[in-house]
Chains A and B, each alone.
Chain A
Amino acid sequence: QSVLTQPPSASGAPGQSVTISCSGSSSNIGTNTVNWYQQLPGTAPKLLISGNDQRASGVPGRFSGSKSGTSASLAISGLHSEDEADYFCGTWDDSLSVFYVFGTGTKVTVL
């Protein structure tokens, strides 16, 4: 039921960079700002990035977000082992059936 598409997986060695894409449409990403959430294994998701590119309190500077048109991206520069987690994008949707939509999720593996 996710209307935002993400790659199922991404990986990199410690110190390398990874970028995760989030593809939507004019009714969601094209109109509204995007959040990114990190979910460590066995825990609740936590807000990572809000308003397309604003790091939440306490989030390291190696995480950055951007948006262009109907797509958004999350970049992690200089991977740490503790970054191994699931990452979800999310945004409001202007359709009538659902008001907030999440991405399909991307599992980041640190090799």
Chain B
Amino acid sequence: QLVQSGAEVKKPGASVTVSCKASGYTFTSFGINWVRQAPGQGLEWMGWMSANNGNINYAQKFLDRVTMTTDTSTATAFMELRSLRSDDTAVYYCVRGSSFDSWGQGTRVTVSP
């Protein structure tokens, strides 16, 4: 099970950090993906981080604005997105592993002046 932090409202230019706490499995056995969905839109993959060795792959679109981390002591993954814009308004999901077999409930991030 993946449980995410609550909704956020941010101003343009600010940063947001979303957390994703894992339970029910060995955290370091799977990586964590981050996927977002803008209102009424499809799914967009942002990146992936191994919870075992720290390897990271970011989508090129987010390379300069996103940082993904994990805390193995608390089995929690984090995604920080900086320099927020209005088009970053979306629901952000953490998703387990290369099979995308377990999804968090989503965190709504609203970017508004």
**Which residues of A are in contact with B by a Cβ distance under 8 Å?**
1-2, 35, 37, 44-47, 50-51, 56, 88, 90, 92, 96-105
User: Which residue on B lies nearest to A46, using beta carbons?
Assistant: B103
Q: Do B44 and A1 have beta carbons less than 8 Å apart?
A: yes
Chain B interface mostly helix, strand, loop or mixed?
mixed
Q: Do A99 and B59 have beta carbons less than 8 Å apart?
A: yes
Contact among B35, B101, B103, B104 with A50 in the assembled complex (CB-CB below 8 Å): B101
Annotate B81-113 by CB proximity to A: 1 below 8 A, 0 otherwise. Answer: 000000000000100001111111110000000
Q: What total of chain B residues lie within 8 Å of the partner, measured CB to CB?
A: 22
**Which residues of B are in contact with A by a Cβ distance under 8 Å?**
33, 35, 42-45, 47-48, 57, 59-61, 93, 98-106
Contact among B33, B47, B93, B99 with A44 in the assembled complex (CB-CB below 8 Å): B93
Contacts of B57 in A (CB 8 A): 99
